[in-house]
A and B are shown apart, each in its own frame.
Chain A
Amino acid sequence: MMGRGRFDVLVLGAAILAGLLKVGGAAWAQSPTPSPVSDDAVNRVAKKLYCPVCENVPLDACDTPACVQWKEEIRAMLGEGRSEPEILAFFASRYGMRVLAVPPPRGIELGVWLIPAVGLPAAALWLALRLARWRRGTPAPETAAEVLPDEAAQALDRWARENW
């Protein structure tokens, strides 16, 4: 991976599928000195963040050097007594909305929620109205059954209808 002598996000994509990427031995190992903030507390926050280096992998499952660093940052912030919303807001302001697992329902990000929230009930309403109209309506004029050309066609027709 380091063959080209650089940190390549594209190649990373494949590696991160594994959930973990190890560069050397030490970079990804947990800090040996026990910290007052537990790994679990860090992971609880990290679960809600997505580091752009590993797209679509939650931060808690990603161990690239960048992600390890982010997790240490979370640990430090938790150690300073900062709350989870504060930490999330900090990461969002610094690295962009994309680091949040789900966009907050405001601004441009509203669209992701708005369309399902409005569109789906609207579609349901439309369906109900259609059904009501359909119920009142008269059946379509009976279309003449197609004349089947030969015995083989008739047999096929019967087989398809009776066996299925």
Chain B
Amino acid sequence: MRDGRRWGVWVGLGLAMAFLVLLGWAFIERGRTAPTRGPAPDFTLPLYEGYDGGLGISEFRLRDWRGRVVVLNFWASWCKPCEEEAALLESLWRSYRDRGVIFVGVDYLDAPSAALAYLRRFQITYPNGPDVGTRISRLYRITGVPETFVVDPKGEVVFYKAAPIRPGELEGILDSLLAPRN
């Protein structure tokens, strides 16, 4: 009987240790920030109807576009700062789409009707879709909106900004990524 009790204590100790491991893991996870370098996490984004950017797709899967430069923008219609960059992003898309750059808007925690109204208001044409279940935003560990990532043809994150994009900020990166390698 005494051994039985000791056994109980060891089970308790084991559970306590397991809990501590989880706690430590959670702590490390909490401390991790957005991927600013290295491989961009893959995701599949269902697109709003009519917002496929002329790519002829109904959902955007990042892996399928390896070899292209992808600009990934997290936004929401209730986000005032997002409005500052909306028109700029659209004009960049228009000028870079022919050179193979893809812009993708991930709509974070948004009501569909408000989101579509926002897209119409800023005459946005590049692919856009809702972040269903906030899965993509958690993959990219965003802490708010807007946030923008640029993924190079090898699928690596090469640029990250957690604030509205200003004129002239993206052009340099996109140009250098598109420049023919010597």
In the complex, B158 has a CB within 8 A of chain A? no
Task: Scan residues 42-85 of chain B and give those whose CB is less than 8 A from a CB of chain A.
Answer: 76-82, 84
Are the C-beta atoms of B144 and A52 separated by less than 8 Å? Answer: no
Given contacts A2-B81, A5-B163, A66-B76, contact A73 B111 (CB under 8 A): yes
Complex Cα spacing A98 to B131, Å: 14
B147 to chain A: which residues have CB within 8 Å? 6
B84 to chain A: which residues have CB within 8 Å? 5
Are the C-beta atoms of B146 and A6 separated by less than 8 Å? Answer: yes
Q: Would you give the shortest CB distance from B12 to chain A, in whole angstroms?
A: 13
Are the C-beta atoms of B144 and A9 separated by less than 8 Å? Answer: yes
Count the A-B residue pairs with Cβ separation under 8 angstroms: how many? Answer: 75
In the complex, A8 has a CB within 8 A of chain B? yes
Interface size classification for chain B: 20 to 34
Q: Would you give the shortest CB distance from A89 to chain B, in whole angstroms?
A: 13
Complex Cα spacing A116 to B158, Å: 47
Are the C-beta atoms of B132 and A5 separated by less than 8 Å? Answer: no
Residue of A7, A9, A68 contacting most chain B CB atoms (<10 Å): A7
Complex Cα spacing A36 to B23, Å: 48
A152 to chain B: which residues have CB within 8 Å? none
In the complex, B114 has a CB within 8 A of chain A? yes
Task: Scan residues 98-117 of chain B and give those whose CB is less than 8 A from a CB of chain A.
Answer: 109-114
Chain A interface, >50% SS class: helix
In the complex, B127 has a CB within 8 A of chain A? no
A24 to chain B: which residues have CB within 8 Å? 80
B78 to chain A: which residues have CB within 8 Å? 64-66, 68-69
Complex Cα spacing A159 to B78, Å: 68
Total residues of chain A contacting the partner, CB 8 A: 30
Are the C-beta atoms of A2 and B113 separated by less than 8 Å? Answer: no
B145 to chain A: which residues have CB within 8 Å? 6-7
Residue of B78, B82, B130, B163 contacting most chain A CB atoms (<10 Å): B78
A23 to chain B: which residues have CB within 8 Å? 80
The answer, among A12, A64, A69, A98, for a CB contact under 8 Å with B134, is: A98
Question: Residues of B at under 8 Å CB distance from A?
Answer: 76-82, 84, 109-114, 130, 132-135, 143-147, 162-164
Task: Identify 6 new A-B residue pairs, CB closer than 8 A, beyond the known A6-B164, A66-B78.
Answer: A7-B144, A10-B143, A52-B109, A64-B78, A69-B110, A70-B111
User: 10 closest pairs, A vs B, by CB?
Assistant: A96-B133, A65-B78, A73-B111, A8-B144, A9-B144, A7-B144, A66-B78, A7-B79, A6-B81, A69-B78
